Amino acid sequence: MSALKVAIAQVNPLVGDIPGNTKLILDQASRILDSEPVDLIVFPELTLCGYPPEDLLLRDSLQPRIQRALDALCAAKLPTALVVGYPKRVDGRLYNMAGVIVDGAILFEYAKRCLPNYQVFDEKRYFSEGDAQGLFEFKGRSLALSVCEDIWDGAPIEELRDSSVELVLNLNASPFHKAKQKEREALVSQRATTIKAPIVYVNQVGGQDELVFDGGSMAVAATGEVLARLPLFDEGALVLELTDAGQLVCKAPEQPLQHAHDPLASIYQALVLGVRDYVNKNGFRGVVLGLSGGIDSALTLAVAVDALGAERVEAVMMPFKYTSQMSLDDAEDEARRLGVKYRVISIEPMYNAFMSSLADAFADTQADKTEENIQARSRGVLLMALSNKLGYLVLTTGNKSEMAVGYATLYGDMAGGLDVLKDVPKVTVFALSRYRNSLSPVIPETVITRPPSAELAPDQKDEDSLPPYEILDQILELYIEEDQSADAIIARGFHAEDVRRVLRMVDINEYKRRQAPIGIRISKRAFGRDRRYPITNGWKIGD
């Protein structure tokens, strides 16, 4: 029995671009083979169509396109086997399939058995469950295929406990959330020790709409030891060897192990990758955003520049009579530090024109939130005009705390194509700003230390209408991410009036969030595909 060389290919596919993804597989395989000969290269789940393909799976033309791609991979007749993921219809049923291509033909196929239907996953809408083990023979070695949820559910892996399996290949499209890599490593280690066999865990990388796939592919020994990791948030490859004695060893010891990043670094990298791929994969020339002098827009600007480069980012300060000199100075300072194109366009002429047109309709009424919202909507009109003219995507800057309680203006500061901080609570915004400044000081200290304000009225502060963010964010996490009731949250020691007011604000602003741009998911429960509540309902806040 000879040693078996196995390569991990951590790649960034584009959903729906089946020809492009086929080329991606062949190009990555060629790069690996140029470095050294290997027996087998493993790619992530559904690499041929990208993940998640959603309702593209319902298209009649899907299967012919997948078949053409498989034919192309077979026709390449590479001097190595390929393990790739793809959707396949068999007897009228669609399966999430993993196939092994050897010498120009498909040697073995395995249909994913455990289909996730929680959080952002909706696989039971599309796929049927497989019903067979993934064991197959390759070059005299006993290997097994599994796909993503199979290892989380555990049953398909544990069935291998008394088998002859020497190595498990697990194909994944596992999206990022805070501390996810730590969860993955603990899980894969536990599965490996259970079956007393090593596991190669291959994950995709890249942004897809609100999801970010962070990679973190790994090789785990039968003892549960993590032998090697590929980087988080970047493509890469790694060669391993299954020895004659059945031990898995890393064939590239010169590559240092990539230790799990600290939480803030991981979140920041997820935001950068999410912005980069959303902008580039959708073909935008660049991005434009309103720079207010506040911390949310400052952090959004830093993320955008790190994602795209300063030359593809434009910042616009849109002052009004309530805009402080400090805000004007800080916004200009931020733009200068990051080297972006910066312009100032006052909204006062627009605002005055609106108020003149509405004078009769507003006669005999008192000024209220309406006038504040007209300010925000004036800014939205300017940014969308620049977007249309320049071909730039508008980045909105609202954070999760604001989106939760409706502290944002529909068709105003919510107008845009991508909300970078939509899943980032305000307290984390401050922490991320400190983290980014530890790399280079791009956000002025006054922006971080000053009390947050929308500056839509004289001396306005966020905490005039909201609990302190340190309290608000805890309440929101318990309600949004953990689905706890008002009574359960109050029982934790929070003021009953604050809890009920905050929860009501969350509930009544569902209609706003349905019209908000998508945002990059960094938690276990983000607004969007993660959390689906009816706008019209009679549910009462309580137990």
- 174 in any annotated domain: yes
pLDDT of residue 329: 93
How far apart CA 541 and CA 453 sit, in angstroms, is 29
The 3-state DSSP class for residue 167 equals strand
* 254 is an active site residue: no
The 3-state DSSP class for residue 10 equals strand
Final residue in a domain of this structure, among 203, 220, 254: 254
pLDDT of residue 244: 87
- SS3 labels along 209-278: CCEEEEECCEEECCCCCEEEECCECCCEEEEEEECCCCCEEECCCCCCCCCCCCHHHHHHHHHHHHHHHH
Same domain for 318 and 234? no
Q: In the chain, which stretches have pLDDT less than 70?
A: 1, 252-261, 453-464
- Looking at 5, 49, 109, 112, which residue is catalytic? 112
pLDDT of residue 254: 43
- 214 in any annotated domain: yes
**The domain that contains 280 carries what CATH number?**
3.40.50.620
* 112 is an active site residue: yes
Has this prediction a pTM greater than 0.85?
yes
Nearest CA to 453 out of 442, 461, 445 is that of 461
pLDDT of residue 253: 47
How far apart CA 193 and CA 257 sit, in angstroms, is 21
- 480 in any annotated domain: no
Same domain for 250 and 287? no
Range of the domain at 250: 4-254
How far apart CA 450 and CA 210 sit, in angstroms, is 30
Same domain for 214 and 302? no
Same domain for 204 and 233? yes
Final residue in a domain of this structure, among 462, 484, 518: 462
- 539 in any annotated domain: no
* 540 is an active site residue: no
Q: Roughly how many angstroms between the first and final C-alpha of the chain, as a whole number?
A: 63
- Looking at 5, 123, 148, 149, which residue is catalytic? 148
How far apart CA 224 and CA 188 sit, in angstroms, is 8
Question: Are 64 and 185 within 8 A, CB to CB?
Answer: no
pLDDT of residue 260: 55
Same domain for 128 and 214? yes
Upper half-sphere CA count for residue 427 (Cβ side, 13 Å) = 11
Same domain for 127 and 235? yes
At residue 26, φ and ψ (nearest 5 deg) are -65, -40
pLDDT of residue 73: 97
pLDDT of residue 460: 60
Omega before residue 52 within 30° of 0, cis: yes
Same domain for 231 and 312? no
Structurally, the chain folds into a number of domains equal to 2
How far apart CA 18 and CA 15 sit, in angstroms, is 8
Same domain for 226 and 311? no
Same domain for 100 and 149? yes
Same domain for 194 and 272? no
pLDDT in tens, 386-423: 999 999 999 999 999 999 999 999 999 999 999 999 99
Same domain for 362 and 325? yes
Final residue in a domain of this structure, among 254, 280, 296: 254
**The domain that contains 173 carries what CATH number?**
3.60.110.10
Same domain for 442 and 302? yes
- SS3 labels along 379-403: HHHHHHHHHHHHCEEEEECCCHHHH
